[in-house]
Amino acid sequence: MVLVFIDQTEGHIKKSSFEVLTYGAKLAAQLGTTAEGLLLGTVNDELPALGKYGIKKVHQVSSDTLNHLDAQVFAKVIAEAVTSTGADTVVFSHNQTGKAVAPRVAARLKAGIVTGASALPDTANGFVVRKTVFSGKAFANVKIDSPIKIISLNPNSYHTAAGEGTAEVVALNIAVDAPKVKITAVNKVSGEVPLTEADIVVSGGRGLKGPENWNILLDLAKELHAATACSRPVADAHWRPHHEHVGQTGIQIAPNLYIAIGISGAIQHLAGVNRSKTIVVINKDPESPFFKAADYGIVGDAFEVVPKLTEEIRKMRAGG
Amino acid sequence: MKILVCISKTPDTTSKIAFVNGNTKFDEAGVQWIINPYDEWYALVRAIELKEKDASIVLHLVTVGGADCDPIIRKALALGGDEAIRVNADNADSFYIASQIAEIAKQGGYDLVLTGKETIDYNGSAIGAMVAELLDAPYISLATKFDLAGNTATVAREIEGGEEIAEVQLPLVVSCQKGVAEQRIPNMRGIMAARTKPLKVAEPAAVDALTSIVSYELPPPKAGVKLVSPDNVAELVRLLHEEAKAI
Ligand SMILES: Cc1cc2nc3c(=O)[nH]c(=O)nc-3n(C[C@H](O)[C@H](O)[C@H](O)COP(=O)(O)OP(=O)(O)OC[C@H]3O[C@@H](n4cnc5c(N)ncnc54)[C@H](O)[C@@H]3O)c2cc1C
């Protein structure tokens, strides 16, 4: 049985969970078995409706303690759930929660894990999972040799597909330890689209010359309901907050659309964005290395091109 | 107070990524090696800052690898730290490495283990969590701030669209990223001092790896950029809408 970890926050199931549910159900079909979900804590969403992603059951450990992440507590509960449900394959999203918990569960169960998986495993000869390595510059095919196998899937690398079906909700009775991590505050950047969850990201580099020029980028982002990002020197100069820094040493993202404005496309920058589906580059230098990594490009002055782009998108939206 | 910082050797960020032996091995020809930036800039520098504030802190570095890691660990010692331990073993897999580090951590009785959030070559993001599990200690991943007052750590960690602040009692394992500290350049005094700091070599514990790399692949090359004239921005919008279906 393939057990899929369903991640939730503030009463709602995260978007990345729908990807892993779809992936888990596909994997189960490939292995000739069934997929089931595992939810820790309580949510307001309809759980039987998760059946539309192809899972038969949702196991729920509904303790309020589990509405907040303590990796140590989570790992123990999940490992017990794996044992009691008899799962031999466990799937997580390689998101913030998955990174904290999945390798812990693996160590606890002495199960081999592949983190950052980007495709379904090849199960023709053993169990080989493809993962991104070298910050998106290559893939490794990694064989898991243990009886229990754990995969954490890169967010945005597997398309959610919903069909018909309802899942049976089963209460799992597992003792939950008292958390040792005491959460004292949560600071969310309100009103903005979270960068790692965003479908579209608009990003600026040193070519924008200074923080006072960011409104052209913010206007475009607003029109596209996009998250905003920046290159490292921009964050280092405090033109933009650190949490917007993408790249090898910043956040790695894989949106559907990445629009790079006044960014040269240094190899360390590309390492954080090269898994984006479509890349648009706006740069006044035709020799900018970013054009080599781009799908679409405009060689031109950002200060002229970006406002025009915002305007054209507005027109298209208005036109239907 | 004893702190252990995990150090990994990685290819420089500008290295050409290529593979040899029928795509089963990373091509090391001409590669410059560096300390994994997350280990160096964030985990190690933060530990050094803590020691600068409280000289009674004992700061050790650990790496798992062959003698080829020694120059890297000396570089790390040039930034700071009292001594280093190298577990003399090949990098078999995350579980193997984490088991070796956990063994050193247990023997040394460390209160705090810091790692980088991932290595820039394998991108595992797994060692810290595994070490924490093997030590049965709490774990905070993707930390963006780290402070210590007595035995209580205050840590900010990345969550979707923001950060979460938490308090935890030591012992604790934390994986660090941007925000925790700022990059430092080693000075001459540090480099000289590093030469005489102890670098102990430990033999590995008997542990079986659970995974193995079968082969590597490079991504297919991009089809090539479609350039649109700056005077025809509407065409870009049309392509993004109709062809890429991205907006
Ligand atoms: C170990 C290491 C790690 C690193 N990690 C990261 C990382 O994680 N993320 C990251 O981003 N960088 C990282 N860097 C830095 C990276 O090497 C580059 O220096 C950086 O990405 C450059 O930022 P930029 O493109 O904004 O600036 P520049 O390289 O200065 O590029 C500015 C660009 O703007 C264009 N431009 C100027 N004016 C205009 C205009 N009016 N209209 C349109 N275009 C214009 C220019 O043609 C140029 O291409 C790292 C470096 C090292 C050594």
Q: Domain end: A171, A187, A206, which one?
A: A171
A250 in contact with chain B, both atoms CB, cutoff 8 A: yes
A204: containing domain? 195-318
Name the DSSP class of B240: I
pLDDT-derived band at A193, boundaries 50, 70, 90: confident
Identity of the residue in A9, A107, A139 whose CB atom sits nearest the CB atom of B98: A107
Q: A298 CB near a chain B CB, below 8 Å?
A: yes
What does DSSP assign to residue A141?
A: E
Alpha carbon of B245 to ligand 1 centroid (Å): 28
Question: Which SS3 state, helix, strand or coil, does residue B74 take?
Answer: helix
- Same domain membership, residue A256 and residue A150: no
Q: Which of A71, A189, A249 sits opposite B162 (nearest CB)?
A: A189
- The mean pLDDT values, 10 residues at a time, for chain B of 247 residues are 98 95 96 97 98 97 98 98 97 96 98 97 97 98 97 96 95 96 94 97 98 95 93 97 95
Do residue A214 and residue A115 come from a single domain? no
Residue A130 pairs with which residues in a beta bridge? A141
Residue matched to tokens 């980007």: A118
- Distance from B104 to chain A by nearest Cα, in Å? 17
Which residue of A144, A187, A292 is in closest CB contact with B210?
A144
A155, A171, A187 - which closes a domain: A171
Per the domain annotation, does B239 fall within a domain?
Answer: no
Q: Please report, rounded to a whole number, the percentage of residues in chain A having pLDDT higher than 90.
A: 92
Interface of A with B in 22-81 (CB under 8 A): 69-72, 75
- Does some domain include residue A182? no
Asked if residue A116 is part of any domain, the answer here is yes
Task: Tell me which chain A residue has its CA closest to the CA of residue B247.
Answer: A224
* Number of CB atoms found within 10 A of residue A113's CB: 32
In a domain, A309, yes or no: yes
Q: What is the CATH number of the domain that holds B163?
A: 3.40.50.620
Span A216-232, pLDDT tens digits:
999 999 999 999 999 99
Q: Is A183 within a domain?
A: no
Same domain, A79 and A199: no
Q: CB of B174 within 8 A of CB of B112?
A: yes
Torsion sign across C-alpha atoms A113, A119, A124, A128: negative
- Strand order, beta sheet including A138-144: A168-171, A57-61, A35-40, A2-6, A89-93, A149-153, A112-117, A128-133, A138-144, B211-217
Rounded CA-CA distance B247/B238 in Å is: 9
Q: Is A8 on the interface with B (CB under 8 A)?
A: no
Q: Check pocket membership of A226 for ligand 1, CB cut-off 6 A.
A: no
Judge: A116–B137 Cβ closer than 8 Å, yes or no: no
Hey, whose CA ends up nearest to atom 19 of ligand 1? A266
Contact A278, B212 (CB under 8 A): no
Q: Which atom of ligand 1 is nearest to the CA of A265?
A: 25
Q: What is the pLDDT of residue B222?
A: 83
Please tell me whether residues A199 and A303 are part of one structural domain. Answer: yes
Touching check for B178 and chain A: CB below 8 Å? yes
Residues of A in contact with B37 (CB under 8 A): 248-249
CA B78 centroid distance within chain: 17
Question: B54: domain range?
Answer: 2-218
Residues A31, A74 within the same domain = yes
CATH assignment at residue A226: 3.40.50.1220
Instruction: Please tell me whether residue A160 adopts helix, strand or coil conformation.
Output: coil
CB contact under 8 A, A280 and B240: yes
Q: For residue A219, what are the contacts with CB-CB under 8 A and spacing of at least 6? A: A306, A307, A310
- B241 within domain boundaries: no
Chain A, residues 100-129, CB within 8 A of chain B, namely 100-108, 110-116, 128
Q: Decide if pLDDT at A320 tops 60.
A: no
Residue B143 backbone dihedrals phi, psi, to 5 degrees: -65, 140
B134 and chain A: CB distance < 8 Å anywhere? yes
pLDDT at B221: 84
Q: Whole-number mean pLDDT of chain A?
A: 96
Give A263-298 pLDDT, tens digit per residue: 999 999 999 999 999 999 999 999 999 999 999 999
> Is residue A10 included in any domain, yes or no?
yes
**Are A147 and A13 in a shared domain?**
yes
Q: List the CATH number of the domain containing A15.
A: 3.40.50.620
The pTM of this model reads 0.94
Instruction: For residue B80, give every residue at least 6 positions away whose Cβ sits within 8 Å of its Cβ, in sequence order, or none.
Output: B44, B47, B48, B51, B59, B190
Q: Which two tokens stand for residue A233?
A: 């020197």
Q: Indicate if A241 and A310 belong to the same structural domain.
A: yes
Best mutation site among B27, B106, B159 for testing chain A: the one with the most A CBs within 10 Å? B159
Asked if residue A160 is part of any domain, the answer here is yes
User: A180 lies in a domain?
Assistant: no
Q: How many domains are contained in chain B?
A: 1
Structural domain count, chain A: 2
Q: Are residues A122 and A41 in the same domain?
A: yes
Question: Hey, what are A118's tokens?
Answer: 């980007």
pLDDT for residue A192 is more than 80: no
B193 is written with which tokens?
A: 């001092």
Domain shared by A85 and A217, yes or no: no
- Mark whether A156 and A280 lie in a shared domain: no
Q: Which atom of ligand 1 is nearest to the CA of A267?
A: 17
Helix (H, G, I), strand (E, B) or coil at A119: coil
